[in-house]
Structure 1
Amino acid sequence: MQLALDVTSEWCQEKELTINPNKTTLVPFTRRRNVHIGELKLGTVGIEQSEEMKYLGVILDRTLTWNKHLSYVTNKALRMAYACQRLYGKTWGLRPKMMAWSYRTIIVPMVTYGSIVWWPKVDQAKTQLTLNKINRNVCLGVTGALKTCPTAAMEVLTGCTPLHICVKAEAARAALRLPDVPTLKEGNLRGHVRILEIFWDTPSLAVSERMNRKLSFSRNFKVVISDRESWRNDNVVVKQGSQLWFTDGSKLEDGSAGAGIVGPNFQRAVAMGKTATVFQAEVHAIELCARECLRRNVIRADICILSDSQAALKALTSYSFRSRLVWECYEILQALSLRNKLVLVWIPGHEGHEGNERADCLAKRGRHCRLNYHLKKLKLVNNDSCRLCKEGQETAEHILCECPAAYRRRTTYFPQTYGSDSICK
């Protein structure tokens, strides 16, 4: 180690660079009780030896017990919860909705940060009790309940997921983003990615879109991302006579996602289930738009696709691709731009642009089961009666069990069960 430090110091001197040894810490990661390491120097300054260090917001102790880090994030989250408590009373201050919002957007990310490396700690009962203190303070603020009310009951009432479950969920999401996960087999789950053992048989892992990196340095289409001020001042110029297409993606709190596309004599709402993200919905909407143009055999035309997702547009301008969905969308756009002038333009969302608002409405419609009973709740239709028989509410149970207009289809698809109550059960 001293030889490596000497080489580093000599190289820095040669390149006229300096290193601050006071910001360098030596931590021997081992479970041995007696560890003797001689003094190491960076140049002429000795390097401090310590039992722990903070790296990128995560405290690493010598034996990796994570006790120091857990204490650090717990105290930080409790201080935040107490600060929120000073902003409300029984009859004044923050509304319960704002307290719940603060919990989801401030406290949960604060606690789950870096959880991919320390998530095994939450399997300990003592750790779960420590994290429950944070949830309890937040739940009391949201509900205004008596201090004797059980924490589990308040979590059910407020929808606050226990923090030890949130930590594991965030660790699993982080593990899925690792580049080597798509090539792993169940027996290869070691170290931090062991968290995926819990979810190995779920559809979200089976349909992972991660792939080995692909490079492409040619792009036949153009991407334009202007600022909001340019749109407000009408400084964004779209070539006159261009075919205008609007795309959007949306996702509900229950996890259901949808995509919407609006174009010349065309509109479409696409349901994407509960495993897709908003980003994936946005990219998929652009891909479907390009496929529709190819299906129409559009040639020598000016095509402008407007999306309100800068993340999706920037991903398509990259030269390195690890997402299979983004790569397939890129290839479709390349094929469309071979015989057309294609431009992708960012448009600010929810600012009254008609095409974007229509695409957003279609994306929201794609997030739900498209039965009139649900659509009326979303105020997308005025009548919730069955479109087939015009009798009763159009629910899934009505279509499968009661609708007389669907009698023939029920006897076709459920010949053995029709006539009993087993279908509805």
Structure 2
Amino acid sequence: MSTVAVVEPVRNRHASTRLALDEVTGTTAVSRLTGAIRIGVIIAATLLFAFGPESVRAHPAVTLCLVAVAWCYGVTTVCLPRLERIGTREAMAVGLVDAVVATELLASTGGSTSPAVAILFLVVVSGGIRIRLRGAVVLTLAIAAATFMVGMLANTAPPVHERLGWSAWWSGFLFFTGLLAAGITFLAERQQEQVLGAQARAQVEHDAAEYERELRDRLLASYQAQQDGLRIILHEFRTPVASLSALGSNLVRKGGTEETRHMASVLVASHVEHLAEMLDGLADVARMEGSPLGTPRRREVDLEQFLLAAADAAGLRPPQLHLVVTPANAQVVVDVRLRRVITNLADNAVRHSESRPIDITARAGAQEIEISVADRGPGLRPEQLAGVTEKYVSLGDSRGTAGLGLWIVEQITRALGGHLYFRARDGGGLRVDLTIPR
């Protein structure tokens, strides 16, 4: 994943935040507030026309028409709040309509003597809030110019100097009021953009740091997995290769009975088959389809011959090996990874028992297979039993891949859906009980 891939989602979130913010502030809040104020101003203009001084009714038909149009216009803007969305063309159009209606109302109700001039104050303020800076300045200039002309021409009864003073005052006041509202809104938007920009940059930096941290963790985990895989492979190949070497030497040497040589040949073939299966597992790992612990492969075996071959791969053979299988000549379907479990247990027993006998018993039940490996070695203290299968924990003298054998046993047993139990053996030594579902 590139930096762009990290930044783009943040930019999208930033844009979404801006759109959501505009939706809330531009449509929901400002639009409804402006609409409510507009309706209030129309109500005030209606009351002014009905109960105000006679001067506001100099052109009653025109004023009444303007009030009616204002009511229709006000209700429409309330029902369609999107028309007042900040910074849009619709908002500019609404501002122009406000200005025209208010200016016409000012002209029809007395010009320089009309109290309706106050409405223009609200028009320029709302325009400065809803319209972008340039449009707000243009609208304010237009309202100021229209106010000046209305003040000079709508009612010629006051002296010219009075109309001139009134027009200049109100046009200037409206212009600077609109300019102030637009400037404050512009500065507020700039500050908001800076805050959002700072938040977006902070989020980008945070996401980039998180990505780098995750990438580093993945790389370290991948490196550790490779190292673990190599250690497991070395550990698993060491014992069957050593057994093959010993069997090969025995076959090459002259002597021995025909039965012994035949048994050695059978074991060599079994070991070669087992190594081939392990190589298939490694091929799966290379294709990212498995793990160094192997993939499930089930086949039917003679349980006694299967256990003999697994123990022989660890260098455990009669008479040191005492093997009892119940029932005799049991044929079972097992995952071939079970052989690696037995080989590792036998290897552990051989290393700690020296030349003392090792007992392997097995019972093929209807639902599960029970296997026990018991030695007469030094055994383990009760407090050592809980941690005996931890990775890289070795409770005896060993070299190279020490601390992996019993960890592999536990991992494969779990993968097979079985259970593993370590306990002290009566009379000294260690007993390992294993149950695997059929």
TM over 0.5: no
Q: TM-score, normalised to structure 2's length?
A: 0.20
Q: TM-score, normalised to structure 1's length?
A: 0.21
Larger fraction in helix = 2
Larger radius of gyration, structure 1 or 2? 2
